[in-house]
């Protein structure tokens, strides 16, 4: 059972096609309701409720690389992969209590703008440029590659580059048309789809191996523990401090993530949204981590751990549900892409274009007065 049969029925293709059409239609709908102003486009008019913030934070984080990578990571390294999830919930609690109030009081549009408030414009532009490069070459590139790889494999009709182009095009259309308003609502739908698809996959996989009591039978001892000894090569318990520090960058000062909370209608909504996102990370133990162990029991000889997700999906799922799983994967990918594109464009406009435009306006006003 080392190879998965990646066969899709026309019903599965229809489900995926309907998904693509729906997200583009929503972008068109939101674009007709947008009012003028950068805050309206980039920060949804600072009117986001907590539930949209929470679901959007969760969906943006759960990219295609996370969807595939977490299952593959647990297949290869065991339950310790969950340390990357629960530490995120811990960081989001601290972010909501101590950091977000300062951001919202300052009425900033970007995280680098806060650095200018505290230090100077050079620190703002340097950090903004660094964040843009990180979004392009880490967040966007990783999501596109993981998504293109899986989609090209499961369809058989698209090569890697064509699959990447289609994903980028669809995500780009509704993000450009609707701004953050389109992104957060679409992310919410995509988060629900992701949770539903992963839950179905876990339930069917658990039944396939004989139930909960059989889950850890035959699994190597070192893969059954959340906290590993200091001598471990993968993630020793001493390394958890590094995971937490990385989480502070990702969840607290990364525009890619923080932008949703900057669009909150008030501090309370932003804080509850961040806490809600942290709560949504905890069930990933069942949605992403344990399915990797199920794949290890069913397919111990996979060519690469990253095949754990597609192998489970296409070996166990019936027709129609396969389409739901693929739509969930595409949802995860596109949530990361729309967030990346929206946040990168926000940084470019607010940290570079708007300041230059204001300087030119002042200069023109001076010339007119003279």
When comparing pLDDT for 266 and 167, which is higher? 266
**Residue 231: both structure tokens together:** 């001598």
Question: Does residue 63 register a pLDDT over 70?
Answer: no
Contact 75, 292 (CB under 8 A): yes
Which residues, at least 6 apart from 311, have a Cβ–Cβ distance to it below 8 Å?
A: 3, 4, 295, 299, 302
pLDDT in tens, 19-37: 778 877 876 777 666 666 6
Percent of the chain with pLDDT over 90: 49
Tell me the two tokens of residue 177: 């048309």
Q: What is the pLDDT of residues 103-137, one digit of tens each?
A: 999 999 999 999 998 899 999 999 999 999 998 88
pLDDT average, residue stretch 48-77 = 87
Tell me what the mean pLDDT of segment 220-234 comes to.
93
Per-residue pLDDT band at 1 (split at 50, 70, 90): very low
State which of 3-7, 11-15, 189-193, 209-213 shows the largest mean pLDDT.
209-213
Query: In this predicted structure, what is the pLDDT of residue 317?
Result: 80
Please give the share of the chain, as a percent, with pLDDT higher than 70: 90
Query: C-alpha angle 69/343/341, rounded to 5°?
Result: 65
Largest Cα span, the chain: 84
pLDDT at residue 201 tops 80? yes
For residue 267, give every residue at least 6 positions away whose Cβ sits within 8 Å of its Cβ, in sequence order, or none. Answer: 100, 101, 104
Average pLDDT over residues 337-342: 82
Q: What integer best gives the mean pLDDT of the chain?
A: 86
Residue 321 has pLDDT above 80, yes or no: no
Give the pair of three-digit tokens for residue 215: 């889950």
CB-based contact 170:294 (threshold 8 Å): no
pLDDT of the residue at 336: 78
Summarised one tens digit per residue, pLDDT across range 180-189 is 877 788 778 8
Q: Residue 367: its pLDDT value, please?
A: 66
Look at 43 and 8; give whichever has higher pLDDT: 43
For the stretch 253-294, pLDDT in tens is 999 889 999 999 999 999 999 999 999 999 999 999 999 999
């Amino acid at each position: 059972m080392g190879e998965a049969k990646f066969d899709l029925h026309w019903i599965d293709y229809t489900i995926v096609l309907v998904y693509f059409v729906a997200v583009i239609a929503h972008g068109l709908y939101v674009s007709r309701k947008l009012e003028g102003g950068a805050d309206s486009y980039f920060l949804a008019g600072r009117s986001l409720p907590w539930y949209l913030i929470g679901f959007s934070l969760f969906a943006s984080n759960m990219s295609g690389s996370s969807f595939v990578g977490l299952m593959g990571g647990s297949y290869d390294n065991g339950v310790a992969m969950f340390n990357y999830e629960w530490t995120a919930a811990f960081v989001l609690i601290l972010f909501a209590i101590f950091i977000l109030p300062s951001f919202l009081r300052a009425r900033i549009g970007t995280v680098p703008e806060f650095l200018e408030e505290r230090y100077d414009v050079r620190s703002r532009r340097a950090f903004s440029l660094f964040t843009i490069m990180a979004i392009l070459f880490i967040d966007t590139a990783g999501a596109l590659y993981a998504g293109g790889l899986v989609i090209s494999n499961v369809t058989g009709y698209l090569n890697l580059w064509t699959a990447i182009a289609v994903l980028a095009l669809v995500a780009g259309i509704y993000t450009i048309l609707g701004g953050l308003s389109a992104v957060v609502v679409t992310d919410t739908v995509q988060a629900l789809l992701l949770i539903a698809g992963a839950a179905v996959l876990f339930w069917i996989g658990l039944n396939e191996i004989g139930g909960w009591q059989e889950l850890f039978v035959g699994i190597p001892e070192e893969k059954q523990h959340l906290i590993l000894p200091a001598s471990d090569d993968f993630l020793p318990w001493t390394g958890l401090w590094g995971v937490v520090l990385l989480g502070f960058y990702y969840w607290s000062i990364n525009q890619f993530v923080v932008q949703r909370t900057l669009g909150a209608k008030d501090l309370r909504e932003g804080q509850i949204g961040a806490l809600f996102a942290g709560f949504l990370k905890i069930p990933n133990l069942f949605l992403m981590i344990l399915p990797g162990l199920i794949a290890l029991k069913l397919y111990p000889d996979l060519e690469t751990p990253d095949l754990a997700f597609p192998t489970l999906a296409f070996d166990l799922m019936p027709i129609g549900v396969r389409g739901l799983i693929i739509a969930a994967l595409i949802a995860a990918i596109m949530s990361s892409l729309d967030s990346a594109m929206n946040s990168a464009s926000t940084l470019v406009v607010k940290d570079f274009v708007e300041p230059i435009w204001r300087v030119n306006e002042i200069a023109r006003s001076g010339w007119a007065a003279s």
